[in-house]
Amino acid sequence: MDKLKHNLNTLGLSEEEISIYITALEQGSTTVLELARITKIPRTTVYLLIDSLTEKGLLQLTADGKKKLYVPASPEELINMATKKRDQLEKSISSLGQELPQLQALYNMSHQKPKIRYYEGIEEVKKIYEDSLSAEKIYFQHMSEKGKELMGEYGETYWALLMQKMIHTKQIIAENDKNRAYIQNESTQRNQMICIPEKYSTNIDYIIYGDNVAFITYKDRVPVGVVISDPEIVHFEKIRFMMVWEKFSGSTIDSGRSALGGLPEMTIKD
């Protein structure tokens, strides 16, 4: 019986409709009162279920004098229902197949748009840094002293996590005595750093990681971050980053071919 109910359910019949139809099959012909008593479904609900089953062709109304009786349709009608559903499904599949190119175009259009996320406040901006830890390589430009002040000890916590994960980095920072000493102690083959003149300092830092570029402004006391996720934009930002890197590091840049639209890909030779 469970298998039968499952099969009827796949035809679009509800549990209560199945109960009413099977009871009608068992009774041969029956009244609303009998159906309500046997199935223990409220009579007002039985009326609604009968209307639905009649519309589906599974119950028929007859009369015995003044008494209204409901007679179940032959179980063969279930096969007809299944056949109709199959035909409708095949038509839907065929129609969807014809519309698929248009639907795919809409899908591609929405997925090709750059995704932009907005973060406000120290705790929210920390999420950007935490997200970057999933990347294999990160490009930083940290030129804001106010940023270091606002982020406080989190900078050290983040750097420790970055080192622990053995993530490769390139970092551009402002040239001053403190930063020169920092580079002397911290710059390695894996975590490379250079200084550029302090006159290029701004209150905006940026990070490139994965398919994301993050801009973080410290203009006010509340930091604000904007993350753009788009491979083409990220590739462009990497080129700009590497142009600055090459200019101030004395390294050479090779031009290769990138997978992103044939744009030149820049790599550092140390």
* Range(s) within the chain of domains with CATH label 1.10.10.10: 2-77
Average pLDDT over residues 225-243: 94
CATH architecture of 2-77: Orthogonal Bundle (1.10)
Portion of the chain with pLDDT greater than 90, in percent: 30
Question: Residue 206 to residues 1, 29, 128, 138: CA-CA distances in angstroms?
Answer: 65, 78, 11, 10
Asked if the model's pLDDT at residue 216 lies above 70, the reply is yes
Grouping H, G, I as helix, E, B as strand and the rest as coil, residue 167 is coil
Does the model's pTM come out above 0.75? no
Neighbouring CB atoms inside 10 A of 185's CB total 7
Average pLDDT over residues 161-169: 92
Backbone angles phi, psi at 221, to 5 degrees: -70, -15
- From 88, 92, 69, select the one nearest 80 (Cα to Cα): 88
* Confidence bin at 227 (pLDDT 50/70/90): very high
* Confidence bin at 253 (pLDDT 50/70/90): very low
Give yes or no for a contact between 172 and 241, defined as CB atoms under 8 angstroms apart: yes
What letters, b where the CB count within 10 A reaches 16 and e where it falls short, cover 140-154? bbbbbbbbeebbeeb
Neighbouring CB atoms inside 10 A of 166's CB total 9
pLDDT in the model for residue 170:
94
Give yes or no for a contact between 203 and 222, defined as CB atoms under 8 angstroms apart: no
* Confidence bin at 125 (pLDDT 50/70/90): very high
Pairing type for strands 115-120 and 137-142 reads unpaired
Pairing type for strands 137-142 and 168-174 reads parallel
Fold exhibited by the domain 115-269? Endonuclease; Chain A (3.30.870)
* Range(s) within the chain of domains with CATH label 3.30.870.10: 115-269
* 219 or 196: which leads in pLDDT: 196
